[in-house]
Amino acid sequence: MNSLEGVLALFLLLNLLAALFRAARGPTTADRMLAALLFGTTGVGILLLLAYAGRSGDSVLVNTTLIDVALILALLAAIAGIAFARRAWRDESEK
């Protein structure tokens, strides 16, 4: 009954593997950062799905710890993106 969540989490993980190509190729620093941001969002999705995949028939038994972890991951991804755009991303021709 709960196999859909597990399958979907695996599918999102494969999406992340594909997005690694963009992180590897660039060409600008921002493209690599966009891949990292996608990792953040998809990671939140995977964690939420996993929180549900473990429940055994009784829908009350959701793993709420994983939901907390997902909340923190969303927060950290936002901070990382803003810090990148405002502080870390310098002119690439200067390097």
Which spans of this chain sit near other proteins (rule: CB under 8 A)?
1, 4-5, 8, 11-12, 15-16, 18-19, 21-22, 27-28, 30-31, 33-35, 37-38, 41-42, 44-45, 48-49, 51-52, 58-62, 64, 67, 70-71, 74-75, 77-78, 81-82, 84-86, 89, 91-92
Minimum CB–partner distance for residue 94 and other proteins (Å):
10
Determine the Cα–Cα distance for residues 34 and 24; give it in Å rounded to an integer: 12
Minimum separation from the CB atom of position 8 to other proteins (A): 5
Residue 76: CB minimum distance to other proteins, A: 10
Which helix (DSSP H) or strand (DSSP E) does residue 47 occupy?
helix 29-53
Closest by alpha carbon to 2, among 62, 71, 44?
Answer: 62
> Beta-carbon neighbour count of residue 47 at 10 Å?
21
Cis, bond preceding 27 (omega within 30 deg of 0): yes
